[in-house]
Structure 1
Amino acid sequence: MSLFRGFAAATILTATTAAGTGKRGAAYNNNNDYGDATFANMLSNYSQVTWGYDWGFPSYNLSSTFEFVPMLWGLPSGDDSSWTDAVQTAGTKNILGFNEPDLTYSGSANILPADAAQGYKTYMEPFNGTVRIGAPNILWNNYDSSSSGGDYSSRTWTSYFMGNCTDCHFDFACIHWYQDCDPGNGQSGADWFTSNVTDAYNTLNLPIWITEFQCYGDDTQQASFLGDVIPWLDSQEYVERYAYFGVFPDYLLNDAGNALSEAGQAYTSA
């Protein structure tokens, strides 16, 4: 039985991918010397990478080989015609809403559950039936003690959100995960990650998109971690898509930003 009544009622649909064949995504932004999706487009020749998102909209010239997935990062101050235009752009199949609304740090959306629910009803629910709608992108870290750093754990935030959004429709759930590559507690980072993803699915009863995840460690450790978890992710039917953080220098790219790092090579390998 699902912890969250609204999630249990959702219909599980099959993911739609772009021209490639994989679940992997390019998490990117335009905060670079080019001011566009140049870094993300470096992954366009890898068939396993089929979609991209930039925590917002527009796509900043993301390659057409990818499916671009627009995100409504936080609550608009009022009607936002640009969001409607983005959702109604030809080729839009999925949309994402609210980036880490369960967290309270400056880089998060930081929205009270009831306000987030009203935002979904206003800005996401009208598109039900025309695109697939993702639930808010929440942290699902170390699930038995996950904390938002505020008054609620992420799990509790989600429960309150769903209690205020019982008439909302969700096609998939979105989670984030960040922990050490080597936790030093007798458990591998890969085991820690897969147990959290499994718990999210068992709790939320929806297909899972892992829209951000990373293990903290050097390039070689991250490459090893990806080598361990990618086969598992690709074999889980309920994991529809995932995006490692991120297509930036010193992450999936090398320091110069002109080639893949070790982690990037592991991420794009078949």
Structure 2
Amino acid sequence: MPPKSRPSPPPKPKSLSSQPSTSISQTRIPPETGKRGLCWPWDQPGSHFKLFEQYVSMPGKIRWLFNWELWVPDSLQPDMEWIPCVRTAAQAKDIDPFLTDILRTRKASALLGFNEPEIPEQANLNVEAAVALWKDVVLPAKAKFGLRLGSPGMSSDVGRSKPWLTSFLAQLGGNDGIDFLVLHWYGPRFTDMRAFLEDMHQTYRLPVWLNEFACSKMGNGETDVDEVSAFLREALPWLDACPWIERYAYFGHKDVGSWVGRASNFSEPVEGDGTSEARKLTRVAQLYCEY
């Protein structure tokens, strides 16, 4: 599967605790606060949050965000929940100092595991290395910060994701601490996405966070706005109603590239503005936020 368009990781935040503390009291935020969220790449300007302000305040609409990172994106609204993610093995050492620093002033309810470790272009982790990091770093962080724990994020390439996750869980021998399954899906048909999610839920018997998904032809041409809109009109009501889907986030941001398909972009320039900075929500983004 070709890699999705995604920027390189940023430098570390300017201010972090130099010494990890021994205990943090963390208030949990229940999943019922809202299912629908945003994928927010690190280089997305903070000014773009203003595009979503009205939907953050609407009950049951945009309630949470993750950025594949262990730090909070600039200008995130205080009433929008940020969910940290330990994206790669290199980030594992940062879990304690980053979260010790950030969670003093900001609440979070969960920690997401490695991002597509079965895919060479993503976290690219063998099972043995992932198990060691999970035991040494991830599980202690879950306990220390009082967070629910998501599995490593698995792709919809089940020929790779299922064997990897099954082996990972087997080697942990029941001591995995996982509270929910993190899944990604890309494809043109909602019926295929639903079948994938139902199969993974039945296989692993865990609630699901679908924290990346998009209506995509995966490089075989691009979906158009009408196709993406029709997909969302099928997907969103089902995701909202399904009792074991806890949260979900569509993969649409500044420019998702040709592999996902630019019809999924959530923002576009304001015509006639005369600057390159002014943006507005696309028709697809408005549908995602309002439907």
TM bin (shorter chain)? 0.7 to 0.9
Counterpart of 2:238, as a letter, is: W
Distance 1:258 1:78, change over 3 A: closer
What residue in structure 1 maps to residue 220 of structure 2?
none
Instruction: Give SS of 1:243's match.
Output: strand
2:67 and 2:91 map into 1 onto residues whose CA distance is 21
Residue 268 (structure 1) aligned with residue 289 (structure 2): yes
- Give the C-alpha shift of residue 157 in structure 1: 0.5
- Unmatched segments (≥5 aa) in structure 2: 1-28, 217-222, 256-261, 270-277
- Asked whether the equivalents of residues 75 and 98 of structure 1 are also in contact (C-alpha less than 8 Å), the reply is yes
1:173 aligns with 2:185: no
Number of matched pairs: 233
Match of residue 226 from structure 2: 220
Higher helix share: 2
- Preserved CA contact (<8 Å) 2:253 2:267: no
Is 2:83 the partner of 1:85? no
TM-aligned CA deviation for residue 86 of structure 1: 5.5
Structure showing greater radius of gyration is 2
Structure 1: which 5+ runs fail to align?
Answer: 1-13, 148-152, 182-188
Q: Is the 8 A contact 1:26 1:43 kept in 2?
A: no
Cα RMSD of the aligned pairs, angstroms, is 2.2
AA in 2 matched with 1:195: A
Q: 1:185 is matched with which residue? A: none
8 Å contact from structure 2 (residues 35, 248) kept in 1: yes
Equivalent AA in structure 2 for residue 214 of structure 1: A
Pair 110,41 (structure 1): closer, same or farther in 2 beyond 3 Å: farther
Q: Which has the higher strand share?
A: 1
| Correspondence for 2:150 | 134
Preserved CA contact (<8 Å) 1:41 1:63: no
Residue of 155, 167, 179 corresponding to 2:162: 155
The alignment partner of 1:44 has SS state of helix
Corresponding residue for residue 77 of structure 2? 63
Rounded to whole Å, the distance in 2 between the matches of 1:94 and 1:121 is 17
Alpha carbons of 1:154 and 1:95: their partners in 2 closer, same or farther (altered >3 Å)? same
1:102 aligns with 2:111: no
TM-score, with structure 2 as normaliser: 0.74
Corresponding position of 1:123: 137
Q: Is the 8 A contact 1:17 1:50 kept in 2?
A: no
Q: Which structure 1 residue ranges, 4+ long, deviate > 6 Å from structure 2?
A: none
- What is the rounded CA distance, in whole Å, between the counterparts of 2:279 and 2:113 in structure 1? 31
Distance 1:197 1:86, change over 3 A: farther
Work out the percentage of aligned pairs sharing the same amino acid: 25
CA offset at residue 111 of structure 1? 0.1
